[in-house]
Chain A
Amino acid sequence: MNVVVVLLLLVIAAGVGRRLLDLLHLPATNMAEEGLLSLALGFGLISLVTFLLGIAHGLYPMLILAMMAAFAVVGFRGLVVLWRRSQSASAPRISWITGVTLCIVVGHVIANLVVALTPPAQWDALVYHLAAPQTFLREHYLIEMPDVEQTYWPIAIEMLYMVLLPFGGDTAPQLLHLAFGILATGSVALMCQRLFPGVPPGLAAAIFIAQPVVNKLVGTAKIDMGYALYAILGLHAAVVWHSTRNWRWLCAAAIMCGLAAATKLIGVFLVLLLLPVLFVNQRESSTSARWSALRAAAVVAGVITVIISPWLIRSALLTGDPVYPYLSRFLQALPVETARTHVISITGLVRIPWTLTMDVLPSSAAGAPLFLALLPGLLLIRGRDRIVKPLLVGVSLYIGVFYFFSLLEMRFLLPALGVFSILAAYVAIQLTSTTWRALRIALFVVVFTPLAASLYVAARRVPVYWDVVVGKESRDAFLTRRVGPLHDVLRFANQTLPTTATIFAGWEVRRYYSDRRFLSGNSIWWINESAGIATPQELRNKLRALGVTHVLLSWDYHNTLRDMFRAGLLVHDPETNLLLSPSFQPYYRTIYRAGPVELAELR
């Protein structure tokens, strides 16, 4: 059923998006380009209307169904057009290299399909990607969730998850995220075909999907693959604009980047990736080229701002900060909890390619070694295409910003990885044109070793998930195995606590499996709320005032934070958390314990 629901959403999005493509008069040159742009536009429109429905207190399953039915009617003509196009398109000739790379892509998709069919257990999904839509659906509108600051950010993909949850269950969002991953991989192939017609697009696609970070995330209910899809399509449209100077393509690039920013706030930095492409002009004189580039940059910035404005306005109305908490941090000196993964230095900046491949956080995923291995190969290719340079500059700017201002996590760098995949495929194919057979064979080994290794890693994960997919393992047993003792405690709370109970969790943030009202103490909201609290008595009174009846104490998470603080990665000392201090013990009575997690009644 969940697969059917996701397929229906894809079909409706494609139909509606195709109608939007007509409105934009975007001259797509082939079926793949038309299909991918239609889907991306369709998803963007559905998420925007769902957002408006949420603002208007209309989040009822019947209303969502009616909305989707209306989209289906509107998009029917678009679907018919797409169907006719697909019938008239002939199948391309497939070389052996395309065949092999297609097998690699399909292998990754099958392995991750098994992961996507299991109950969600990924951290961020349980914190807000699924928890926020679930809470919104329960309250029938976009209720403010002050203890989950991520819900103030643009969360367009979560709006699509909200459409799926009532009809397809909680594996449907994971399947949609997998679909986003497949479409993003297709976008990489599409952009490769446009940039380097001599390079098999399947190779770039295989390099992209074989990224450890893609492999790790694509089957979970996160939103990063949606971000990657919009960003790569935006870059593709910018590249087409670069060669055609057709302003409709520039608008398409800006719309896609706007949708990426509405998916993930960091999407605004995509402008950095686009700027070098916009400013390199191949035809016009220098003065007119500069003006043209400036106009282009203004159009891109304007369209991005318009597309994310509903989200920014919502955040500004609720918190006074359109990009909460980032502006508040400067204006009100909020005690924002920050974690850093790296120490900033010039040598660190130079070492980024090595660091991203070899030394990443255990919670993150490394880059594929293929980029690090092959990128020096660009120096060996004489007379490189002119577009390569601005792309490399754009990618460097984008990664540089993340080095200085953010966590250096690979998932934030997915758009850059899309470009790298294309460049790596380009370098590989150019180098394998060498006349020396031994070198050619060695280069093929270099290219296919990480792809094969990634497929092996993906296949190795299947047995971990297989039993629950085929029903040999129960959902609860699987979740206890994947989420840990927290799942047992929340299950106990769901079965025994009254429906009016409110649970306050000292550090815990993973609320998705709680059917009771859940407040997290690991948030900026709580840091502010608890700022003046000095005694356990005051803490108890504060919790009572918030309607809290039970507290959830997660000692393993507390210990993790304590270790992070000692390593200099946290601003606030977790030991100052009164809730977990011995002095607060007289104010609660433990009613259930599973490992290091306990549920207690507030006295």
Chain B
Amino acid sequence: MRPPRHHDSVPDQHPCRSLNRSKAEPRQAKLHSEVPIKVNSQLEASSTVYQRRSRTSEKTPPFLGTTLLIGWCVVVYINYFQRFETVARLLAWIRVALGWS
């Protein structure tokens, strides 16, 4: 069994597999091997700079912050989707059911 690594907290089934460092490296290598035309080596190197920075910057977001963000998203969506008649009717029904109106 291989030794555990700190970034293994990202599950393997995550849809964006390149976020998982153990999966990302072979995939990026494959992408660059597919470059079909003359490749500027400086460009390729810089692209790798972005990738490396991107990977080193990834840390698990805080639980409380993410929960608050989802709460904020709900507020925004309720305000926004009220312009759809069905949603407006549903919200009105919920307000009545909760005795808010």
Binding site for B on A (CB under 8 A): 27-31, 34, 85, 88-90, 92-93, 95-97, 194-200, 240, 243-246, 282, 357-358, 366, 369, 372-374, 376-377, 379-387, 429-436, 439, 442-443, 446, 449-450, 453
Evaluate contact between A443 and B66: CB separation under 8 angstroms.
Answer: yes
The reply to whether the CB of B10 lies closer than 8 angstroms to some CB of chain A is: yes
Pick 15 A–B contacts, CB within 8 A, sort by A. A92-B31, A97-B16, A198-B19, A243-B50, A374-B69, A377-B69, A379-B65, A384-B57, A431-B61, A432-B15, A433-B58, A434-B61, A439-B63, A439-B66, A453-B81
Once bound together, how far apart are the Cα atoms of A386 and B24, in whole Å?
20
Q: In the complex, how many angstroms separate the beta carbon of A12 from the nearest chain B beta carbon? A: 21
* Across-interface contacts of A435 in B (CB, < 8 A): 9-11, 60
Contact B62 A380 (CB under 8 A): yes
Our pick among A199, A358, A439 for the contact of B70 (Cβ within 8 Å) is A439
Q: Which residues of B contact A382 (CB under 8 A)?
A: 57, 59
Say if the beta carbon of B37 comes within 8 Å of chain A.
yes
Contacting residue for B50 out of A27, A30, A88, A197, CB 8 A: A197
**B101: Cβ under 8 A from any A Cβ:** no
Residue on A nearest B53 in the bound complex, by CB: A385
List of A residues within 8 angstroms of B18 by Cβ:
197-198
The answer to whether A244 touches B35 (Cβ under 8 A) is no
- Cβ 8 A contact of A95, one of B15, B38, B72: B15
Question: Chain A residue with minimal CB distance to B13?
Answer: A96
Pair A358/B50 contact, Cβ less than 8 Å = no
Given contacts A244-B40, A385-B53, A385-B54, contact A373 B66 (CB under 8 A): no
| B37 near A243: Cβ-Cβ < 8 Å | no
Asked if B76 and A369 make an inter-chain contact with CB atoms under 8 angstroms apart, the answer reads: yes
Contact with A along B60-86 (1 / 0, CB 8 A): 111101110110110011011101100
A56 to chain B, nearest CB (A): 37
B22 within 8 A of A: no
Q: Nearest 5 CB-CB pairs, A to B?
A: A243-B46, A383-B57, A97-B15, A27-B40, A369-B80
Q: Beyond the given A381-B61, A431-B66, could you list 11 further A-B residue pairs with CB under 8 A, ordered by the A residue number?
A: A96-B15, A197-B31, A198-B16, A240-B46, A244-B40, A246-B43, A366-B83, A373-B77, A379-B65, A439-B63, A446-B70
Known contacts A90-B34, A198-B19, A380-B65; A443 and B70 CB within 8 A of each other: yes
Question: Complex formed: what's the CA distance from A244 to B50 in Å?
Answer: 11
Contact B57 A381 (CB under 8 A): yes
Which B residues touch A369, using CB under 8 A?
A: 76-77, 79-81
Instruction: Tell yes or no: B44 within 8 A of A by CB.
Output: yes
The minimal Cβ–Cβ distance linking A89 to chain B, given in whole angstroms, is: 5
- Is B39 within 8 A of A29, CB to CB? yes
- Of B40, B53, B76, most buried by chain A (CB within 10 Å of CB) is B76
B interface residues with partner A (beta carbon < 8 Å): 9-11, 14-19, 24, 27-28, 31, 34-40, 42-44, 46-47, 49-51, 53-63, 65-67, 69-70, 72-73, 76-77, 79-81, 83-84
Contact B76 A357 (CB under 8 A): yes
By a CB distance below 8 angstroms, the chain B residues around A31 are: 36
CB-CB < 8 A to A384: which residues of B? Answer: 57
Instruction: Determine whether the beta carbon of A385 is less than 8 Å from that of B70.
Output: no
B-side contacts of A432, CB under 8 Å:
14-16
B-chain residues with CB within 8 Å of residue A199 when the two chains form the complex: 16
Q: Is the CB of A29 within 8 A of B44?
A: yes
Question: In the complex the two chains form, what is the Cα distance from A430 to B77 in whole Å?
Answer: 21
A95 with B17, Cβ < 8 A, contacts A85-B37, A369-B77, A453-B81 known? yes
> What is the CB-to-nearest-CB distance from B86 to chain A, in angstroms, rounded to a whole number?
10
Q: How far is the CB of B54 from chain A (nearest CB, A)?
A: 5
Contacting residues, chain A, for B47 (C-beta < 8 A): 29, 194, 197, 243
Complexed CA–CA distance, A28 and B77 (Å):
40
Q: Contact at A453–B84, with CB atoms within 8 Å? A: yes
Whether A436 pairs with B72 at a CB distance below 8 angstroms is no
A588 to chain B, nearest CB (A): 43
In the complex, A97 Cα to B14 Cα: how many Å?
Answer: 10
Q: A430, B36: Cβ atoms under 8 Å?
A: no
- Return B31 CB to nearest CB of chain A, in Å: 8
* A240 in contact with B43 given A369-B80, A384-B57, A385-B50 (CB within 8 Å): yes
Residues of A contacting B57 in the complex (Cβ-Cβ under 8 angstroms): 381-385
Q: With the chains together, A101 CA to B71 CA distance in Å?
A: 25
| Contact of B56 with A383 in the complex, beta carbons under 8 Å | yes
- Separation in Å of the B23 CB from the closest CB of chain A? 10
> Would you call B16 and A439 a contact (CB within 8 A)?
no
**A430 and B37 contact, CB distance less than 8 A:** no
Residues of B contacting A240 in the complex (Cβ-Cβ under 8 angstroms): 43, 46
Query: A90 — which chain B residues lie within 8 A by C-beta?
Result: 34
